[in-house]
Every structure is written in C-alpha cells, then in structure tokens.
Amino acid sequence: MGYKLAGFDHLGGVEIDKEVAAVYQKNHRPKHFYNLDIRDFNNLDALPDELFDLDLLDGSPPCSTFSMAGSREKAWNKKKKFREGQSEQTLDDLVFVYLDTIEKLKPKVALLENVKGLMQGNAKGYLKEIHKRFTKIGYRVQVFLLDASKMGVPQRRQRVFIIGLRNDLDLTKLVLNFCEKPILFGNIDFCNLGCDLTDIALSGWRNAKQGQPIGVFVSDIRFSNKKISNTIRSSGGAYHSEQPRHLSKRELCQIGSYPLDYNFKKLKPKYLIGMSVPPVMTAQIANQINLQWLSKI
C-alpha cells in the first residue's frame, strides 16, 4: 500500500498465512502472488521475468524473536507457529532466507524491515551477519532507525530499515531525515461509542491516567489526547482516552495510516495494523528512494 501511495507499480508478494494472504489479495489484487513459505518460493524455477531486476524488493520477515517485548534469545533457533493455522517454522533465520530471495531476484534496491530490537543486545550480532550477507551478494548497505511519528503517521513506532543498493549502480548514499510535525492522539477523528469493557477492565481504565497502562499489563494502554498515540500492537489492549472502551476500527485505521474502508475480512483490524509497517511510513521511504536513486538510473 505504501509503495502504491508513492507511485510504484505493485507486482506481487509472498505470504505464508492464508487469512493474511486473503486480505492482501482482496485489497491489492497483486499480479503475481504466492501463498506459501518463502523458502518454497525461493525453490521455484519458473518465475515471471518481470520479477527479476525489480526496481525495489521489500521484505518484512517476522520479527518476534528480536522484539524487546518478546522472549528474544530464548526463542532463537526454535520452531513455532507465528499464528494459528500457519505452518511451524523457525523465525529468526527468516531474515537470511529473505536474503536468499534478494540474491535470487537481484533487485536494484532491496529493503529489509524489522524491529528496533535488532539493533540491541545480542541481536546486534544478527545485524552484523545481515550486513555481511548483503555485501557478499553484491549490495552496499545502509541501516536506518526511523520513527513513524516523524513521518506523518499519528503513532509512535520505531522500525529498523536495512536498505541495499546493487553494486553496479553508482549512486550517492541515501539520506533519510524526516521531521514532520507530530499528530497527537487528540487530533484523531473519534467515534462516539458506548462502554465495551468488562467490570475489571473498566475499573482499571478509571484508575489509570491517560497514557498509562491499565492494571498490570504494560501492553494495555489508556491513550492520552495530549500525546502521540502509543504503538499499536497485535496483542494487548488499546483503550480510548476519555471513553471507557477499546479503540474502534476507524480510529485504529487512522492511527495506522490505513484507508478507512480497508477490508480486513476475518482478521481483527488491531492485529493486522499492529503487525504492519504503517503505509505512510513506507510511502515516505519509497518516495525518497525513488527521488534519490531510481529516478537517476
């Protein structure tokens, strides 16, 4: 969605989760789509010619094993189902499987997105290996830690973007410096809905100050009108600042920079938005890649 906002032609994608794949196809109607494990995609022989030498290839391997909110090192090298109904797989090596995809398709620009935790603690060793592998397969690499709230997204969300430029393209380094005016939670176009909380949650909501956790779960947040929205997470609760309720689909879409008419099919909006890079964040990066690099090729 972000690349389409930036004026790119969206050719296709790979997604292992059937329900997520259905949402992807419903909203974007990609020309080439593969509902399978990216490892299996990498083993395909008969791929369309237009998937090679792409202007830009984007990948967001599941990142729960690098997240500071997750189990991190304890989960490395262990198989799990990322979501109910998926195939069991290891997650921490998917960044290297995606690098296999880059080596196979040889795009001009390759982008690998992940969580801030990839730059912290023992995970920095993974980051160094990613950099080495990018270099080995023929790319010059830059690493950016970007904040969506400085890019026109009404949400605090920091993500790592590892961007590689193919060695045969003689271009200057990419500069990404975003400083847009922050959009506060109070600027969101709210719905006027009634209370939908249980008695326990309602008590926690009343006792929590705006911007603070409700009860003992730090991921259950009562948002604050005077602050930028907290990061929308796939799990945990996102509660309105002044109305005792969860945030509505309309509000979540605005915070996540999704279209209000986006079709989530069977998935909960908060789950998908919480798992996503905000489209406007992607669009900002894609626009700069086009202006500084692709338009000069």
Closest to 229 measured CA to CA, from 169, 185, 295, 292? 185
Q: What angle do CA 127, 130, 136 make, to 5 degrees?
A: 145
Closest CA to 148 of 279, 34, 41: 279
Q: Which residues are catalytic?
A: 63
Q: Tokens representing 153?
A: 């997204």
CB 156 within 8 A of CB 185: no
* Pairing verdict, β 79-80 and 158-166: unpaired
Distance, in Å, from the CA atom of 84 to the CA atom of 278, rounded to the nearest integer, reads: 24
Task: Determine the Cα–Cα distance for residues 68 and 233; give it in Å rounded to an integer.
Answer: 13
